[in-house]
Structure 1
């Protein structure tokens, strides 16, 4: 049982649940009502979506495994009590899991292309595997490069569902709603942008948390190269950008008298964002940035759950 628990720890199962939940909610709470109203999509479309979701989870799991594999020395400093690779799970098994998950994720992407003629997802999945490998070996040690790549991959989790939808070559039982493609694109860009910004913020905060181990092994992260004060300014700027976008969304939903959505946005996303700014300005110790990271995770969760509102107000 301990081996199984360590395996789930290795693949970061809570993060995998987040990825799956994001895609499931976007598909069923945004894509379905926006594109098809109260009518149902056909069975083939559902199956291809679940294959896409599984491929995303597998590729993310592969990324977490290979990241831990190459981070052994750094993790000995930053989180010695949480290490799995080379303790309960050998390096050889870690490489096997990485190869298995990567192959499965890429294969599923090309299967989608075989079914609907959209080969973009298969090649994109292959690209994600290579990016995650080189992120673990090289890019994460480079100034901002790793942060931006991970943020883009997080945004891709949402946008790939949009790509599946617009390229789906199926015989629909009913036409899509007028103007639905444009509306879905706007929502996909909205949630992808939110995912990119909030992930970039969290990645820099994590870099501050992990400074000791990163510095010891030659990583050139922002807090190491430019210092913690500059990193706080950088994060603050992106938090302000996020707040501006959230207030634009709030203004939009108020125009359509979507009171529940407006209240949700204000209380569960905007207010926590403002609180995170306050925490950031006061943060000095590692524990402060750990607390910040937890609050940012909570914001990601409430952001994901906001998709449920489109099921009722789209």
Structure 2
């Protein structure tokens, strides 16, 4: 259990679930055409896709491990320290190296399997960026929040990069026959990545507010340490309006004809976001900050789950 807690197994399960959901609902349905009735243009086999998910999860887990190794002082103040208490620092470093080796190694294999060896650099860069985040960027107000939110949203885009991009080149019959459809699939993945980025950015900021006292004692200059909890929550309040507006616009422009997609989005995504916005204005206590952070995690899950609702609506729409 101590190892599962160290690598944040719940968050890793969320990443894996998200990737599988996109691939086996939306992407599978979106790549079934009259031109290719028994074959779609996804590049990875079932086993290779499993390995892609495993590589993503391993590198993310390594990021959590190195973060806890370097955050021992802050975690001790916040009374949530794992490394140096239930797990030795040496064991944690070995786990960090092992997870990265597995993740990057799988990345090299998959990149060569789809004849895109240069794609292996994506895994190396992600692992390196997570290390830089933990050692340097985390201590720079807002910058660290943006970086970690970008890395999280990239776990959606990487599906398209490995499953679609290998087929997108001139002369490929699948690309020539399905060019617009493949572009649309990648475009929708990008839209969800933007949504994930915005929600994760809000959550990272809320978590900083929740950890303000520990970060201040450890000398980490997060936004709430620099300008105070109250002002940071007001910034979060304003920022939380952005995804609400974007979602309302997106629904009105692209999905207005699918009634239950609109109902789902209004009830399970926009309404909770509005509740978050209202509560963020008046939140004062640690419990309230923690509840807001948890609410954002739920909103992200429900938002990702909407791809199944949209896929069902679009494939069964008369």
TM-score by length of 2: 0.90
1:21 corresponds to 2:37: no
What does residue range 74-223 of structure 1 map to in structure 2 within 5 Å?
Answer: 74-78=74-78, 80=79, 82-169=80-167, 177=178, 179-223=180-224
Deviation at 1:43, TM superposition (A): 9.0
Say whether the 8 Å CA contact 1:261–1:309 is kept in structure 2: yes
- Cα deviation for residue 182 of structure 1 reads 2.2
Residue aligned with 1:219, SS:
coil
CA distance in 1, matches of 2:19, 2:216: 36
Aligned position for 2:259: 259
- Equivalent residue for 1:8? 4
Normalised TM-score (structure 1): 0.92
Per-residue CA deviations over 1:232-290 (Å, capped at 9, x if unaligned) read 232122211100111022213543x2111111101000000000001101101222111
Distance 1:186 1:310 in 2: 14
- Provide the secondary structure at the position in 1 that maps to 2:166: coil
Query: Which residue number corresponds to residue 34 of structure 1?
Result: 30
Change (3 A) 1:312 1:147: same
Structure 2 SS opposite 1:54: helix
Give, in angstroms, the shift of residue 299 of structure 1: 0.3
8 Å Cα contact 1:33/1:310 also seen in 2 = no
Contact residue 12 and residue 61 of structure 1 kept, 8 A: yes
Q: Distance in 2 between matches of 1:284 and 1:43?
A: 49
In 2, the alpha carbon distance for the partners of 1:176 and 1:237 equals 44
Structure 1 stretches lacking a partner, 5+ long: none
Find the aligned partners of 1:113 and 1:35 in 2 and give their Cα distance. 21
Q: Is the 8 A contact 2:43 2:164 kept in 1?
A: no
Q: How does 1:294-305 map to 2 (within 5 A)?
A: 294-305=294-305
What does the per-residue CA deviation read over 1:180-219, in whole Å, with 9 as the maximum and x for residues that have no partner?
1221122111101001100100000000000111001111
Equivalent pairs counted in the alignment come to 307
* Aligned residue in 1 for 2:268: 268
C-alpha contact 2:167 2:174 (8 A) present in aligned 1: no
Q: State yes or no: 1:237 paired with 2:238.
A: yes
Shift of 1:107: 0.8
Alignment check: 8 A CA contact 1:36 1:177 kept: no
Deviation larger for 117-126 or 21-30:
117-126
Asked if the contact 1:211/1:223 (under 8 Å) is kept, the reply is: yes
Do the aligned residues in 2 keep the contact of 1:102 with 1:129 (CA within 8 Å)?
Answer: yes
Aligned residue in 2 for 1:289: 289
**2-side partners of 1:23 and 1:286: how far apart?**
32
CA distance in 1, matches of 2:253, 2:38: 26
Alpha-carbon spacing, 1:116–1:283, altered in 2? closer, same or farther (3 Å): same
1:179 alignment partner, SS class: helix
Residues 173 and 183 from structure 1, CA distance in 2 versus in 1: closer, same or farther, beyond 3 angstroms? closer
Secondary structure of the 1:263 match is: helix
Gapped regions of structure 2 (runs ≥ 5) = none
- SS for the counterpart of 2:45 is helix
